[in-house]
Amino acid sequence: MSLQQIDAGMLSRMFLAGAKNLESKKEWINELNVFPVPDGDTGTNMTMTIMSAAREVLELGNAADMQGLCKAISGGSLRGARGNSGVILSQLFRGFTRRIKEEESLTIPILAEALDKAVEQVRLNLPRYTKKCQHHSSVNGVYPACKNEEWTCGFWPGEIWLAYERTHDEAFRRAGLALVDSFDRRIRRRVKVAHHDMGFLYTPSCVAAYKLTGDEKARQAAILAAGQLVSRYQPKGEFIQAWGRMGSPINYRFIIDCLLNLPLLYWAYEQIHDPRFLQIATMHADTAQKYFIREDGSANHIVSFDPVTGEFLETFGGQGYAEGSSWTRGQAWALYGFVLSYVHTKKDSYLNTARRVANYFIANTPESGLIPVDFRQPADCTLEDSTAAAIAACGLLEIAGQLEQTGELGKTESRVYKKAALKLLTALEEKRCNWDENHDNLLEKCTAAFHDEAHEFSIIYGDYYFIEAVWKLTGEELFIW
């Protein structure tokens, strides 16, 4: 059986065994170092360095946790460093221990088995859904096949492309391109596209297809979808109208979800350099930043404006518990959406806003790691929404990745967000994933809206974002947004 986890006790034993082995080979190492002139003490210096750390590790005994152990290894080797080789060895230990000291254990590899199982679940679903899409909600563990007419139809081909990137299996490629044909027809014939969800539809399906295969039909379909999205921009208020007849007072509003549609516009701008795409995306993000995010980092769901003056009117509770509450999927859309806008624009305020929302999400995450439908739902309400956990994990990992590029302080802070994402994903994998081959879905206990009659079924985008989040952990994921 392969080793899957290293805790503090095992790492301590491994380190001491390595130190002993180095000590026994020091004369052999001394004889190796002869360039540019014979040195003769490299093995001795390395041994003195590691044995200094080993003594401090031994003093900890069996009670050491990962943080204490890392401190002993790093500090002991630095204090005992002898010669250039000893200093170099102590720095290697310092870098290694700084990376792992806040982990209770090392998972090798983290959740990789879950990713491979998810890919196999996608493979099992291919025969039924190659020419059809999966309906957004499951019935008895099965997603009814549907025409490409729902706003959620992009997530099934998104899963296919994630599976193709993982395996490079031609079966996934053929299925994904067959669905590209369907999405091309949909946008050209304008089949139920009079809404803001072009990004949810065309980024996972067609942008992903173009990035992986270079398929020109996929590229053109996605650019047309971006054009449809900007046609819903409202200059009075500076936002993209979510749904309904353009300019209608009752529909003159936008929702937090739309932040995930903006990456389609950023991508389209990069492709054809039409300034409308970049300008409208950033104006919408700026307006969302101003009116959706509260002082404590929580987010509104729906905001309305006056169609004549463009002035802010009011907010609505939407799919959450009540007006002023904290619908968890809305929080997840916000933290992921703002960091994605930062990725494309490098505007610091977007990253800072994403962090504020993420900090609020982390502070309100239950110890179990299982996310309620609304962070402010009644205490005796146990309703959950696993989609919120999966989407938030994607956002937290993206924030962590961006912070790692900003220097030492950013690297330290990034661990907070990665650790929070791991908590969410571990809870989902252990408690809310269904690996039954007779079921289409992966995640269970998803909820569309707090006040709906039905709760805690499976929702297609929960599956998609779970797979995407686990992919992000590898550092090798296809970045489609």
SS3 content of the chain, % helix, strand, coil (to 5): 60, 10, 30
Catalytic positions: 197, 257
- Half-sphere exposure of residue 300: CA atoms within 13 angstroms, side-chain side: 20
Reduce the DSSP state of residue 236 to 3 states and report it.
coil
- Using a 10 angstrom Cβ sphere, with 0-12 exposed, 13-18 middle and 19 or more buried, the burial of residue 92 is exposed
Taking CA atoms, 25 is separated from 12, 13, 45, 58, in Å, by 20, 19, 12, 21
Select from 185, 137, 187, 130 the least CA-distant residue to 163: 130
Secondary structure E strands in 247-395: 253-255, 302-305, 312-316
| CB neighbours of residue 456 within 10 Å | 15
Q: How far is residue 24's CA from residue 30's CA, in Å, rounded to a whole number?
A: 12
Closest by Cα among 197, 259, 167 to 176: 167
Token match 């102590």: residue? 90
